[in-house]
Amino acid sequence: MYRSSIAEKYFQTGNIKTSDLFAYFDFVQEQEQYFNPNSLKVLHSVREIVKRKNGDYSSHTAERSAIRNFELGEAISGVSPFSAILSRLSDKIGRLVNLLEEYAGKAVEYFDRTNNVLNQEEYDGCMILLDNIIEELVITTRKHEQPNITLLMGISCSLVISIEKLLSQVSIQHTVNESLIDTAKDLVGYLSLAGAILFFEQKENKHEDLSRI
């Protein structure tokens, strides 16, 4: 008989089950005001990524906690899972800004040799979407309000599409290309965890208005 880790008692303290996480995904895909057919495709692909990664970090079992790693983090640091997820969002956003700037620098070097120019409109579009995400998170936090996570997921899915368009302009053999797409999808994934927490809390409290999740 294998010895159980003491972490198990912390892993199983939460109420957000894996089934709740994917119930939130089902809710999100019905919010047509935030998504179009292309961004829904991104959402579906992220759902599969989350399903795979959630098994590594939390649990493959539908009725076990979807945020087991963040529950253990709360036991160690005292930081709530929701706050910890917001912190991870800031990591992903900062990484995306740095990667986009790095891509632009590599692209400019390439274009200087080929007499082309960087598609400034696509690049600026990516930065504007990131600014929109940052503003929603910062403004609501400062007002002690909850961010509209579903809105942010829609913006983030659009960001994935914009990055793909930007990268399709030229194939630069550099790891930054793959990292940009992966990080943007990770951003959507972490938003889904934050949204699942709010979605569960609203349903537990029997709130009919789910528009601000």
DSSP 123-181: HHHHHHHHHHHHHHHHHHHHTT----HHHHHHHHHHHHHHHHHHHHT----SHHHHHHH
What pLDDT is attached to residue 61? 62
Assigned token pair, 112: 């200087």
Question: Is a pLDDT exceeding 60 seen at residue 10?
Answer: no
Residue 194's H or E segment, with its range, is helix 175-204
* Per-residue pLDDT band at 45 (split at 50, 70, 90): very high
Residue 137 binned pLDDT confidence (cut-offs 50, 70, 90) = very high
pTM over 0.75: yes
Q: What are the sequence ranges of the domains in the chain?
A: 15-204
How many other CB atoms are there within 10 angstroms of residue 66's CB atom? 30
Residue whose structure tokens are 């706050």: 83
Would you state the pLDDT for residue 196? Answer: 92
Nearest to 201 by CA among 18, 24, 10, 11: 24
Give CA–CA dist 45/29, Å, rounded.
Answer: 12
Q: What is the pLDDT of residue 152?
A: 97
User: For residue 86, what pLDDT band results from cuts at 50, 70 and 90?
Assistant: very high
Residue 93 pLDDT grade (very low, low, confident, very high; cuts 50, 70, 90)? very high
Give Cβ neighbours of residue 187 (< 8 Å, ≥ 6 apart). 89, 92, 93, 96, 133, 156, 159
Average confidence score pLDDT of the chain: 84
